[in-house]
Amino acid sequence: MIQPIFLFGSEVLRRVAEPVDITSKEEIAKLVADLKETLARSEGCGLAAPQIGVSRRVFIVDGDVMADVYPYLKGFRRTFINPVVMWESPEQCEFNEGCLSVPGIYADVRRPSSVTIEYYDEDFNRKTETFDKFACRMIQHEFSHLDGILFTDLVAPIRRKMIAKKLVNISKGKVGTAYKSKIK
């Protein structure tokens, strides 16, 4: 079912999400289905459970929407259940990020160039994979949501000052989205 996406200022976005009980397969499958349907109706390339008001350690990424810019992302889709970062490269890179929970704001963010993640996929298989390039970026962005961190927390201080008024406006509901959204 399509869920509203919670916007900047919503408390759920600032909580550290709880792990899911991996034996609750029906509950997790429903959450993953809701994430997929909600993401499909938005203009994003990833969505974390806290963004739909569920403080659980689950997120999805879909590189297809970025395949025109990054052709290697064609068909790149992953579901991450109870992910754990096992390794981060010391090298960092900078990409311009945006977020469905922070509509209309984009900023450069520095993050590790590659990461290794251990997680369960949507078929409940345990996996360990290393990601780089923009796939790594999508995954790190969504992983941050699980820890109550938004990309705006990671931008340079001068940029934070420049976007402060826009963030206040979003938190007051003074923003329009092409998708169902709410602040709570």
Residue 140: left if φ>0, alpha if ψ -120 to 50, beta else—which one?
alpha
- Give the 3-state secondary structure of residue 169: helix
**Does the annotation count 37 as an active-site position?**
no
Of 64, 89, 172, 81, nearest to 120 (Cα)?
81
The one catalytic residue among 11, 37, 88, 142: 142
How many Å apart are CA 14 and CA 119, to the nearest integer?
Answer: 22
Q: Which two tokens stand for residue 49?
A: 């459970």
Burial 7-40 (b: 16+ CB within 10 A, else e): bbbbebbeeebeebeeeeeeebeebbebbbebbe
The set of residues, in sequence order, having a beta carbon less than 8 Å from that of 158 and lying 6+ positions away, is none
Beta-ladder partners of 5: 181
**Residues catalogued as catalytic:** 142
